Amino acid sequence: MKKKVQLTKLAPNCGCAAKVGQGTLAGVLGNLPKFCDPNLLVGTDTSDDAAVYKVSDDLAMIQTLDFFTPVADDPYDFGQIAAANALSDVYAMGGVPKTALNIVAFPKNMDVEILGEILRGGADKVMEAGAVLAGGHTIQDDTPKYGLSVTGFVNPKKFWKNYGAQTGDKLILTKPLGAGIINTAIKADLVSEEARTAVLASMKLLNRSACEAFRKFEIHACTDITGFGLGGHATEMAAASDRTIVIDTEKLPLFPDVEMYASMGLIPGGAYRNREYANKTGVKSSAVLWKEDVVFDPQTSGGLLAAVPEKDVPYIMEELNAAGLQAGVIGEVTDRQEWTLELR
């Protein structure tokens, strides 16, 4: 490359922190026409991770897309992270990715070798997932953006939704939290090398092994944790399941130095939008402030959050630990209270 460019300096919000807020989205989507098709098993009604369309009694398509601004300065890393993030929606439904298409926006005056590295990173991650990269679309834009449109396969009788959580279920999270806070510290040139290395490795990690571990058990509800943060996605799960989700903030798996950066106020703007939306549905909290910030911190290529029967938890955790994942049992599902989300 002719000149090294710090990609994260080119966007005010990095990765999934650039997502439009849940409240804004809900207002816009509520005015769109409703589509009725008996084969559309999952659409927009429950804010799920992807659409699911039944093709036959044994086959359904999972369709999703995701793209965002740079979340890493290295273009190859950025491509890998963006691809892993897009592929994650298929894993969150219990499916297997099959095809992918590139989505690209790129400045006309930027070195095209950077674009080549971004695309190479994405292609390598698609290949790692066992899927096929089959094309894409590019436009010129002042801010680089990259992601994928992904199609996956799943059995229409066995896929997971972001609702269906039952009273007494335990909540398992398969990756640490604090990616948005760490990435804010990176942009401010305040991050430790340990924290930088840990968050990059986690964002590049496919949720494939977590999905494969979960498939061996009964999963009542599942979603992946991305731009709306743990709090936002848990709120969606609770509301759609007509339950309350209780999160034990003492048991959250965290990236290194998250407490220090959160206490310094290195909180991305998306965290405040996520908190504001959750408060509209009701939040009860006795957690310390920095842990609340972590709960609402927008994640990029975060882990899977699953509501599972309590009896299966030891065996699921054994599988996740064997896969080398930093997973944790972080809470439980209760009957619906006056609030949707409780933080302890």
> 298: which DSSP letter?
P
pLDDT in tens, 300-329: 999 999 999 999 999 999 999 999 999 999
pLDDT in tens, 277-308: 899 889 999 999 999 999 999 999 999 999 99
Averaged pLDDT for residues 26-39 = 73
The pLDDT of residue 143: 92
SS3 100: strand
Catalytic entry in 16, 36, 211, 222 = 16
Any idea which residue has 């991650």 for tokens? 125
pLDDT category, 35, cuts 50, 70, 90? confident
pLDDT in tens, 220-271: 999 999 999 999 999 999 999 999 999 999 999 999 999 999 999 999 999 9
Check: CB of residue 239 under 8 Å from CB of residue 249.
no
Q: In degrees to the nearest 10, what's the CA dihedral of 97, 101, 107, 112?
A: 90
Task: Find out if CATH 3.30.1330.10 is the number for domain 7-12+31-154.
Answer: yes
Is pLDDT above 60 for 20? no
SS3 233: helix
Residue ranges, CATH 3.90.650.10, the chain: 170-343
Model confidence, pTM: 0.91
Q: Is 211 a catalytic residue?
A: no
Q: 170-343 belongs to which CATH class? A: alpha beta
Averaged pLDDT for residues 66-71 = 92
pLDDT in tens, 113-158: 999 999 999 999 999 999 999 999 999 999 999 999 999 999 999 9
Residue ranges, CATH 3.30.1330.10, the chain: 7-12+31-154
